[in-house]
Amino acid sequence: MPLSSSGCPSTAEWRRQDREPPLIPCTVWGESGGTGMLLSSVEEWPRSVVYKPSKLIFPRAEGPNLCLYPSSGDTSSGAQLKMPEPTKKEDGQPEENVAPGTGEALPPAEISLEVSPPEAAVEVKDPDPIVTVPEQEPVVPEVLEPQPIVTEVTEPQPIVAEATEPQPIVTEPVEHGQVEPEPKQDVKVVQVCEVKEETPIHSPAPPMNDAVMAADTVPIVMVVPPPPPALKDKDDDITASTPSPPPPSEDGSTHKKLSVDLPNDSVPESAKGRKDSVWSLGDGQPPEDIDKQVENPPLSTLLIEKPQGGSISVGGDITFIAKVEAKDLLRKPAIKWFKGKWMDLASKTGKHLQLKESFDRFTKIHTFEMHIIKAKENYAGNYRCEVTYKDKFDSCSFDLEVKDVPEVSQSIDIRSAFKRSSEGQDDAGELDFSGLLKHREPKQEEVPEVDVWEILKNARPDEYEKIAFMYGITDLRGLLRRLKKTKKEEKKSEAFAKKLEPAYQVDKGGKIRLVVDMADPTVDLKWYKNGQEIRPTPKFIFEHKGTQRILVINNCQMNDDAAYSVVAGDEKSSTELFVKVLPVKIVKELEPVNTTVNERIELECEVTEEGAQVKWLKNGVEVPTGVRSRYRVKSEGTKHWLIIDDAMKEDTGTYSLMATGGTSEARVQVDLKPLKILQDLQDVTVLLGQPLKLHCEILPGNVPGRWYRNGQLIQSSDRITILHRAKNHRIEVESCTLHDSGDYTFVPEGYSQSLCAKVHIIDPPKVHLEALNAPDNTVTVVAGNKLRLEIPISGEPAPRVVWMKGERVILDTGSRVRAETFSDHTCLTIDVTEREDTGNYKIVLQNEAGEDTASVKVKVVDIPDAPGAPLVPTVGGDWCSMTWDPPYYDGGSPILGYFIERKKKQSSRWMRLNFDLCKETTFEPKKMIEGVPYEVRIFAVNAIGVSKPSEPSKPFVPLAVTSEPTMLVVDDVTDTTVTMKWRPPDTIGAAGLDGYQVEYCLEGSDEWILANKELTEKTKYTITDLPREAKILVRVKAINAAGPSPPRTTQHSILVKEVIEPPKIRIPRHLKQTYMRKVGEVVNLVVPFLGKPRPKVNWLKDGQSIDPTQINIRNSDCDSIIFIRKAERKHSGKYDMTVQVENHVDTAVLDIQIVDLPGPPQCVRIEEVWGENVALDWTPPKDNGNAPITGYTIQKADKKTMEWYTCVEHYHRTCITISDLVVGNEYFFRIFSENMVGLSESATITKDSAVIVKEGMNLKNPEYIDYDFTEPPKFTQPLINTFAIAGYNTTLNCSVRANPRPKVIWMKNKIMILDDPRYRMFSNQGHQRPWGGTGGLQIGGQSHHTGIVNVLFSSKEALRSLS
């Protein structure tokens, strides 16, 4: 850590490591009008504070009210305070210091505090709080005798300080307006101080009285100033929206507290980052959170650079930067910016606030920025930055101070205040006296001889620059700003008779009373905390006592440490409350630990306060606890742990925990574990040149070791790598040699045991084909000659050699082909080579080191095979063209050329056609006789000789082409096609005619396009895909075996444009009337039509489109076919046919009637029975089968036999009388209906029977009891559990039987489903009786329908449920 000029770490370095600098072991309170500050850094104090007497300068100290006392646990040191007295005006008010002999004002007096070395150790275990009460009357400046100060020391009661002359003052607690004196101890006179004026040259302080060093006394030096005049702050009327307190005024009228605490005193987190001892609490807390203690933020684990607090003027810009290292993070961390406790700034971005973030790929650092643009006064306050990543969290608080440039009082040395800093700081020119304290040795400034303020006020503006140059003022702009804002003299307060004290102090958990005296008791008061109005609660109690208005704060906590103010009308009185935290002491000490390496170590300690800040040290050095540190710190309540997960021997040492109230130490001893071999070294055999790897595993895993070969230490090199990862130890040799073989030993460091293994290096076999000196390892030999191949080999041990050709192994006992092996070479011998010996010969070498293979290609050259039979694709009148394929085997030598021979088919004599070799595989024989069949054959020639002749070609006859076609005319033209007709050629010849080839050419072009890819044998052809309204020429060629004939071309161009012919439907005669077919028969109707171009045909049935799955319709250029494979009654209807050519339309209507058997008649009744006659009556059937009813068939049956007999057929009426019935019989009747198809499938039977009785006899009908058909609901198919997919529909089904029809109720989780659009309930009734049916519930595709579904079927008789 860098050191400051005093030899101690600087404050910036402490804060860069997220740590507060240590505090000086003494506490100083300053309540004068000067600039009191919290001196916390060693750098801010002279180095001689501890070792030799030194002076501490307090600039601008105007009131002699300062108190010094030693803190607990530290050695007291004597101190003497000297402060000049102000001169008194005639009206009793203090006036400015005036230099002797001059009328000019003196510079502000300085307070010098000399600290002498301690003479005796003084221990004060429980320091009592000290309340300093200023006197009610001003001190008479003429009194030069020192005023005695009586100090009362009470343990454990508070110390009471009294000033005996001129008026004793006793500080006592006041409760509800009653003064209760505290019990007093013996009073001891500690020190007498004298108050006098002091020039800048300080005289040495007198020695301290020995009574100061008494063990039971607390030395106190008190200087009581006269009460300052009541001044009204011009900012009192301004209410900031941010609860943070405004910055301290520069006029010196506001009292400040100067406090330097002990190192053992805990510094509350809210005090960090304060400016001039003012805590910035950010947004105010709700009343219910006031009693809660402010929690300490967690230790830093993510932020490597935290945003620092800053100060800007109104309208200025400022940027706060936070950086997070992302080397150990898999994704970007989440960051939040807060103002106060709850305000998330992410929703406040806009013109005045911007949040930015960036990522540097090279440094792996996330940078987060918060820009505040054109700041306002209410932007001031406490801010917080929180960073989270998975289970990690880090936060940082910082303050923003927004201030308007304050005015400068006339008692300021403006020449020293407005000299610019050479360091170029942002606050150059500001009145910052903290810079004076940071110097190791404060320099004594010369006393200004003149009051520059008076000169500037009386001078003209154009003389400002000259005056500034004359008196050495370089920051003229800052001086002009302060001159512009110089305050006017404040009037005396009209609302307050006595304002609040400048500052109050209270112990944490204690009670404090803030009292003001009112000049007008009727004025309403409002109390504020950090700018937020205070409401009466059990914590905040408002009391009235005469003209006094009292605010009582109970159970003070750290969040009560704030700025308080009271407002009466337009006037305001402010103060600060400081809550003191007691030192954190250790309750449970650390315990020593003895363990072994790789074990877990936990050091536990307990302190007196939850969330206290502690520091862990090892051997006096702070333990690192960062993200990559091996040490982890954990805290829970008052307990703190230091955890080392994987202990190492280097972790042995003395560990200590340092709190503000003490330190605890413990010894940690880490020893080696017993060596345990998990995996020993293994003997290995390695191929020469291959990598060598030896591996072993031992415990403990973090023990290093050394490797030896044949007793020699092995060092790492470019070829040898030694690795150690946890319990694994490995040595790797990149490419081993014969020297790497031997005995290897691994010796763990610190242990006497060792691990050994042997390494054997072997050389694999190798075939050296380079000795053949043959290109591509190919050996060529002429068939019939002897071949002997000798190939060198190597390998240790001597390899086994195998010669192979394909899958066949060549033995050394072969007769013609054999293989022989010797010590350094192998040999292949072929006595008489043949064509079959050509091929790849494989050599395989094997030994324990491995194997090697190589291939040798043997090429046996010979005469080539005969070429393939030649083909004759083209024949002319006296010539032909012939082609052939090269021979399958060229004899191992390239083909040099071919000889061609020809003969007539009837002849046996071949005639050679070429004496020079033909290099190509094509040839054209000439001078042949037309009409005579010929044959040809081929010979192949290579460097070895001439092959055998090929097979003769098929006989061919030289033929000539035909003459051109005749009478080429246009037959039809459409928008894209042209149809041509022609006549065959006049002369065809012996070759005959194979077909015609049609070509066309666009007008203006010479390119002829083939219209038909294949020859057409017809003399008519349609050319398609022609451009509309183009003009073309057409020609036709006749093709035969001899080739194409001369073309016949049209004389004039043809316009590709179709002539429109209106459509006309020609309905066949049998379709002009109703077309009737029976059900099940085939319907196949063809309707021809005319029209050009091809008309568009559309069919409609009863005005609707025809379903293609029921009726098939096929259209052509000239007709349309409607086809029904199996007619049904629903196919009946009127079919509208529309034929359209452009705007021309023709329609026709076809009436198709599909008939079927009729249904039975309805309501057959016996109207009357008399004698042997029965009168029947019925109604026509409901379904006539789509055809008129042509008649009825009536049948009768005797009840005894129930055999039916036909009475009447083809009866046309719906009533009839049946006669000639047998008396005494009982008859039933049934009737069939009939149409053109036939009788109905069923008949209607009379419900009652007709009894033929004799006259005079009466038949008594028996009485029958009606059967009860009611039946309770019963599930025939229950519900089943169903698994559905989210987003898809699901259906639940069940079946039930009941009579009468039941009521269905669906329930989900025992709740009825009513009017829910996500569910659709349906039920189907069966045809059986009693009622039977199925029910279903369809559920929409959502994921929250999981549950138990119930269905209830209810009827009058029973209620049945199913789930």
Does 1160 score more than 90 pLDDT?
Answer: yes
Query: What is the token pair recorded at 401?
Result: 């101070």
From the CB of residue 286, how many other CB atoms can be counted at a distance below 10 Å? 10
Q: Is 104 helix (H, G, I), strand (E, B) or coil?
A: coil
Percent of the chain, pLDDT > 90? 31
Calculate mean pLDDT across residues 1026-1053: 90
Does 1178 score more than 90 pLDDT?
Answer: yes
Does 59 score more than 90 pLDDT?
Answer: no
Q: CA 411, CA 429: separation in Å to the nearest integer?
A: 17
Q: Is 641 helix (H, G, I), strand (E, B) or coil?
A: strand
Does 1305 score more than 50 pLDDT?
Answer: yes
Sign of CA dihedral 1215, 1218, 1224, 1227: negative
Between 739 and 133, where is the model more confident?
A: 739
**pLDDT level of residue 1350 (50, 70, 90 thresholds):** low
Does 122 score more than 50 pLDDT?
Answer: no
Does 435 score more than 80 pLDDT?
Answer: no
pLDDT in tens, 353-377: 889 899 888 888 999 999 999 888 8
Does 286 score more than 60 pLDDT?
Answer: no
Does 94 score more than 50 pLDDT?
Answer: no
Calculate mean pLDDT across residues 988-1008: 88
Sign of CA dihedral 804, 807, 811, 815: negative
Query: What is the token pair recorded at 432?
Result: 């910052």
User: For position 1288, what pLDDT does the model report?
Assistant: 86
Q: What is the DSSP letter of 160?
A: E
For residues 581 and 661, the answer to whether their CB atoms sit within 8 Å is: no
User: For position 277, what pLDDT does the model report?
Assistant: 32
Between 699 and 1146, where is the model more confident?
A: 1146
588, containing H or E segment: strand 586-588
Does 661 score more than 60 pLDDT?
Answer: yes
Percent of the chain, pLDDT > 70? 70
Does 24 score more than 50 pLDDT?
Answer: no
Q: CA 30, CA 248: separation in Å to the nearest integer?
A: 15
Buried residues in 1210-1222 as b, exposed as e (16+ CB within 10 A): eeeebebebeebe
Q: Is 964 helix (H, G, I), strand (E, B) or coil?
A: coil
Q: What is the DSSP string of 167-219?
A: S------EETTEE-PPPP--EEE---B------SSPPPPPPPPGGGG-TT---
DSSP 3-state helix, strand, coil percentages of the chain (rounded to 5)?
A: 5, 40, 50
Q: What is the DSSP string of 1127-1193?
A: --GGG-EEEEEEEEETTEEEEEEEEEEEE-PPPPPEEEEEEEEETTEEEEEEE--S--TTS-EEEEE
Does 854 score more than 80 pLDDT?
Answer: yes
Calculate mean pLDDT across residues 496-514: 87
* Residue at 1211: amino acid letter: Y
Between 1162 and 1362, where is the model more confident?
A: 1162
pLDDT in tens, 1081-1118: 999 999 999 988 889 999 999 888 888 888 999 999 89
Calculate mean pLDDT across residues 830-838: 88
Q: CA 660, CA 899: separation in Å to the nearest integer?
A: 117
Say how far residue 1217 (Cα) sits from the centre of its chain: 94
Which of 25-39, 608-622, 1313-1327 shows the highest mean pLDDT?
A: 608-622
Tokens 């029976």: give the residue. Answer: 1078
User: For position 423, what pLDDT does the model report?
Assistant: 39
User: For position 331, what pLDDT does the model report?
Assistant: 83
Between 163 and 533, where is the model more confident?
A: 533
Q: CA 845, CA 309: separation in Å to the nearest integer?
A: 81
For residues 980 and 1021, the answer to whether their CB atoms sit within 8 Å is: yes
User: For position 484, what pLDDT does the model report?
Assistant: 67
* Residue whose C-alpha is closest to residue 875's, from 805, 807, 955: 955
For residues 1131 and 1154, the answer to whether their CB atoms sit within 8 Å is: yes
User: For position 1349, what pLDDT does the model report?
Assistant: 59
* Residue at 512: amino acid letter: I
Q: What does residue 500 show for φ and ψ, rounded to 5 degrees? A: -65, 155
Q: CA 111, CA 61: separation in Å to the nearest integer?
A: 6
**pLDDT level of residue 1326 (50, 70, 90 thresholds):** low
Query: What is the token pair recorded at 566?
Result: 């009271």
For residues 681 and 757, the answer to whether their CB atoms sit within 8 Å is: yes
User: For position 515, what pLDDT does the model report?
Assistant: 92
Give the C-alpha distances (Å, rounded to integers) separating 989 from 483, 873, 963, 997, 1191: 130, 19, 9, 18, 79
Sequence-distant (6+) residues with CB within 8 A of 317 are 371, 372, 373, 374, 375
Sequence-distant (6+) residues with CB within 8 A of 519 are 493, 494, 495, 496, 497, 547
Query: Average pLDDT of the chain?
Result: 74
Q: What does residue 361 show for φ and ψ, rounded to 5 degrees? A: -70, -25
857 - beta bridge partners? 778, 840
Does 511 score more than 80 pLDDT?
Answer: yes
Does 393 score more than 70 pLDDT?
Answer: yes
For residues 516 and 498, the answer to whether their CB atoms sit within 8 Å is: yes
Does 918 score more than 70 pLDDT?
Answer: yes
Between 582 and 415, where is the model more confident?
A: 582
Q: CA 1099, CA 1114: separation in Å to the nearest integer?
A: 11
* Residue whose C-alpha is closest to residue 884's, from 903, 870, 899: 870
Q: CA 680, CA 1305: separation in Å to the nearest integer?
A: 77
Q: What does residue 743 show for φ and ψ, rounded to 5 degrees? A: -95, 125
Calculate mean pLDDT across residues 416-420: 51
Kindly give the residue spans of alpha helices, DSSP state H, lying in 307-442. Answer: 414-417, 434-437
Calculate mean pLDDT across residues 835-862: 89
Q: CA 280, CA 318: separation in Å to the nearest integer?
A: 18
Sign of CA dihedral 748, 749, 751, 754: positive
Calculate mean pLDDT across residues 930-940: 91
Does 1258 score more than 80 pLDDT?
Answer: no
pLDDT in tens, 1058-1074: 778 889 999 998 888 99
Query: What is the token pair recorded at 4?
Result: 């400051």
* Residue whose C-alpha is closest to residue 1356's, from 1300, 1304, 1305: 1300
User: For position 1346, what pLDDT does the model report?
Assistant: 53
pLDDT in tens, 371-386: 999 888 888 888 999 9
Does 72 score more than 60 pLDDT?
Answer: no
Beta pairing, strands 1349-1354 & 1303-1308: antiparallel
User: For position 999, what pLDDT does the model report?
Assistant: 94
**pLDDT level of residue 485 (50, 70, 90 thresholds):** low
pTM flag (> 0.85)? no
pLDDT in tens, 173-232: 333 333 333 434 343 333 333 333 333 333 333 333 333 333 333 333 333 334 443 333
Is there a cis peptide before residue 70, judged by omega within 30 degrees of 0? no
Q: In terms of C-beta density within 10 A (0-12 exposed, 13-18 middle, 19 or more buried), how is residue 753 classed? A: exposed
Beta pairing, strands 850-861 & 778-782: parallel
* Residue whose C-alpha is closest to residue 699's, from 731, 672, 730: 672
Calculate mean pLDDT across residues 136-157: 37
User: For position 1352, what pLDDT does the model report?
Assistant: 58
Q: CA 632, CA 1127: separation in Å to the nearest integer?
A: 90
User: For position 497, what pLDDT does the model report?
Assistant: 86
Between 1206 and 474, where is the model more confident?
A: 1206
**pLDDT level of residue 427 (50, 70, 90 thresholds):** very low
Q: CA 852, CA 663: separation in Å to the nearest integer?
A: 76
Q: What does residue 502 show for φ and ψ, rounded to 5 degrees? A: -60, -35
Q: Cα angle at 826 between 824 and 828, to 5 degrees?
A: 160
Does 100 score more than 80 pLDDT?
Answer: no
Q: What does residue 269 show for φ and ψ, rounded to 5 degrees? A: -65, -30
Q: CA 1196, CA 1207: separation in Å to the nearest integer?
A: 7
Does 112 score more than 50 pLDDT?
Answer: no
Does 254 score more than 50 pLDDT?
Answer: no
Q: CA 970, CA 1052: separation in Å to the nearest integer?
A: 11
Buried residues in 719-738 as b, exposed as e (16+ CB within 10 A): ebebeeeebebbbebeebee
**pLDDT level of residue 569 (50, 70, 90 thresholds):** confident
pLDDT in tens, 673-692: 888 889 999 999 888 888 99
Please tell me the total number of residues recorded for the chain in this structure.
1363
Q: CA 113, CA 1202: separation in Å to the nearest integer?
A: 143
